[in-house]
Structure 1
Amino acid sequence: MNSKRPVNLDLRTFHFPLPALTSIAHRITGVILFVGLIFAFWALSKSLSSPAGFDAVSSALASNFLAKLIAWGLVSALAFHFVAGIKHLFMDADIGVTHEGGIQKAQATVIASVVLIILAGVWIW
Structure 2
Amino acid sequence: MNDKRPVNLDLTTIKFPVSALASITHRIAGIALFVALPILLWMLDRSLASPESFAELKDLLASPLAKLVVWGILAALIYHLAAGIKHLIMDMGIGETLEGGRRGAFTVIAVSVVLILLAGVWVW
Q: Shorter chain as normaliser: what TM range?
A: over 0.9
Equivalent residue for 1:68? 67
Q: Which has the higher helix share?
A: 1
- When normalised by structure 2's length, the TM-score is 0.96
- Partner amino acid, structure 2, of 1:30: G
- Partner amino acid, structure 1, of 2:56: A
Equivalent residue for 1:58? 58
- When normalised by structure 1's length, the TM-score is 0.95
- Residue deviations 1:74-120, cap 9 Å, x none? 00100000000001001111101111101110110011000110110
- Rounded to whole Å, the distance in 2 between the matches of 1:2 and 1:36 is 49
Equivalent residue for 2:104? 105
Name which of structure 1's ranges 89-98 and 20-29 shifts more when overlaid on structure 2.
89-98
Equivalent residue for 2:10? 10
- Residue deviations 1:17-73, cap 9 Å, x none? 100000000000000000001111111111111101100111211x21111001000
- Residue pairs, 1:1-125, within 5 angstroms: 2-61=2-61, 63-125=62-124
SS of the residue 2:9 aligns to: coil
> How many matched pairs?
124
* Structure 2, gaps ≥5 residues long: none
Consecutive aligned runs of 4 or more in structure 1 exceeding 6 Å deviation: none
- Rounded to whole Å, the distance in 2 between the matches of 1:124 and 1:57 is 15
Q: RMSD value over aligned CA atoms?
A: 1.0
Identity of aligned residues (%): 55
Deviation at 1:8, TM superposition (A): 4.6
- Rounded to whole Å, the distance in 1 between the matches of 2:56 and 2:74 is 20
